[in-house]
Amino acid sequence: MMSKYSDIKNLFIDSVDSKNYIDLESLSFNYNVLEDSLDKPLKMILLFGRPGTGKSMTLNKLYQNLKDKREIHYFDAPILSEKEFLKSIYESISGKKIPQNMRVNFDGLLRFTQQLKGKREIIFLLDECQLYSEALMEKIRLLSDTRVVKFVITLHKTENEDVIAKEHFKTRIWEVIELKNASEEELEIYVQKKLLQKHFVDVANLIQAKHIKFIHTHTLGNFRETNKFLYTVFSIYEYYELNRPEKIPKGRFSRKILEMAAIKLGYIHD
């Protein structure tokens, strides 16, 4: 026997697939600022925010929308080895594969890139840049100085934003875009759209403002935390439907199941 809640819970698996992108006003505004920034005489664009605010999803959406229109490359996972990073940059720009045992000389890469000035404009999207070393970030900065290569970088917003604060980055970042957690109103739209786009109208109609308030209180509107919360909620619904269907209330969304999910995730204690 299958449960409809199996399909519903899977809507809330945390994913950066652009097909799962939910169009909210604040996210759309920031996305448009980001895309418009690529037409400015920039060197770098910084997209930052707390983990779970949609940075990777926004970067992925930008790549999917522009990959057939612009010369754009997306590094969805950090390449922490400097040797492998420079090799990947060179291969992306040149279109040539380098033998595994060969190393790309950075000065040579810089000269090669400078020769393309006025001929090409190449965009690199780099996710999770807080994991890169300061030495590698400095090389990224120097490549951006060629004005051939533009970088869109994402960073987690932390209490100690040393990389952002460096003077040489302040002078090169044209646009700084901060993604924030959703408000209660935005979170309601997010949850409703997730359900309605897969035609779970009956479940969407049961979720009221008081339920969203409960979710927002514990997740603070963070998309990743909200996905985890609702995945857990509908996993509990799934269990009851398959094993004890009489425990699922008729015609209303279960506050008890919300609380059970919050306890399971450690938001509240029983």
Q: Per-residue pLDDT tens, the chain, 270 aa: give them.
A: 678 899 999 999 987 776 777 888 888 999 999 999 999 888 899 998 889 999 999 999 999 999 999 999 999 899 989 999 999 999 999 999 988 888 899 999 999 999 999 999 999 999 999 889 889 999 999 999 999 999 999 988 765 555 565 555 666 667 889 999 999 999 999 999 999 999 999 999 999 999 999 999 999 999 999 999 999 999 999 999 999 999 899 999 999 999 999 999 999 876
How many other CB atoms are found less than 10 A from the CB of residue 99? 6
Instruction: Say whether both 56 and 90 belong to one domain.
Output: yes
**Is residue 98 located within the same domain as residue 202?**
no
The three-class DSSP label of residue 16 is coil
Q: Of the candidates 156, 179, 202, which is a domain's last residue?
A: 179
Answer whether 0.75 is exceeded by the pTM.
yes
Domain assignment present for residue 43? The answer is: yes
Domain containing 166 equals 25-179
45 in the same domain as 159: yes
270 within some domain: no
Select from 147, 34, 146, 129 the least CA-distant residue to 85. Answer: 129
Tokens of residue 36, six digits: 């418009």
80 backbone dihedrals φ, ψ, rounded to 5°: -80, -25
Are 205 and 240 members of one domain? yes
Do 84 and 157 lie in one domain? The reply is yes
